[in-house]
Amino acid sequence: DTGVSQNPRHKITKRGQNVTFRCDPISEHNRLYWYRQTLGQGPEFLTYFQNEAQLEKSRLLSDRFSAERPKGSFSTLEIQRTEQGDSAMYLCASSYRGSEQYFGPGTRLTVT
Amino acid sequence: SQQGEEDPQALSIQEGENATMNCSYKTSINNLQWYRQNSGRGLVHLILIRSNEREKHSGRLRVTLDTSKKSSSLLITASRAADTASYFCATEPQGGSEKLVFGKGTKLTVNP
């Protein structure tokens, strides 16, 4: 399967804990994006990378959120001190410049 | 914030009928993309139309773009029960950012 993959698919955590998600993009894509989607809404942009450089971050990305793409391949999104409002689907996508963004299956986070 | 507004919010039709969904947006764009999302799953890319294009076809899908009205439409012809899903339009704003800005989506139900 050469699509975008995300792990884990589901994560249940207690408030205050840290969580980390991983995204593996399509191998030849140099752009990687993170979005968050809550129930009944469309995805909202969080951040994106071109190779290993993080080029843009949304205001939605508070200080508790950090994303990395250390070698320009896979990326991780970490949420520290999780809050109930962080419960959402976290989606990763990859692309070439100016082309379609292809999405992974998402990681569903539930904070209890 | 979400730029796109899909209309209608929900649409229910019989198999074999055509389904039309509309999208309006607020700012100038590089391109507009339509995605499908089955319940609780990742987004599947359907079609991309660039700002200098007016119409595009892919199989049973037809997309139009009117940049003067800042609107787009997605037509699905000869619908099938498997087309039941939420459909989102996403715009890539002009100005250098490569993020996609999504609407809230149209929930399409195709009854067998």
Selected for mutation to probe chain B from A21, A36, A44 (highest B CB count within 10 Å) is A44
Q: Does B35 touch chain A (CB under 8 A)?
A: yes
Q: Report how many Cβ contacts below 8 Å link chain A to chain B.
A: 64
> pLDDT tens across A58-73, in order?
988 889 999 999 988 9
Give dist(CA A89, CA A9) in Å, integer. 9
What is the overall mean pLDDT for chain B?
Answer: 92
For residues B91 and A9, give the distance between their C-alpha atoms in angstroms, rounded to a whole number.
Answer: 27
A51 lies within 8 A of chain B by CB: no
Report how far residue A87's alpha carbon sits from residue A111's, in angstroms, rounded to the nearest whole number.
Answer: 6
Residues 6+ apart with CB under 8 A from A27: A2, A73
- The pLDDT value given to residue A1: 52
**Does the beta-carbon distance from B88 to A33 stay under 8 Å?**
no
pLDDT under 70 in chain A at which residues?
1, 98
At residue B71, does pLDDT exceed 70?
yes
Asked if the C-beta of A1 comes within 8 angstroms of chain B's C-beta atoms, the answer is no
pLDDT at A2: 76
- The percentage of chain B sitting over the pLDDT mark of 70, rounded to a whole number, equals 95
Q: Which site among B39, B98, B102 would you substitute to test the A interface, given the most A Cβ atoms closer than 10 Å to its Cβ? A: B98
Q: Please tell me the distance in Å from A93's CA to the nearest CA on chain B.
A: 9
Q: Each residue of B5-59: pLDDT tens digit? A: 888 999 999 999 999 999 999 999 999 999 999 987 789 999 999 999 999 999 9
Q: Chain B residue closest to A50 (CA)? A: B98
At A37, list the tokens: 């989607």
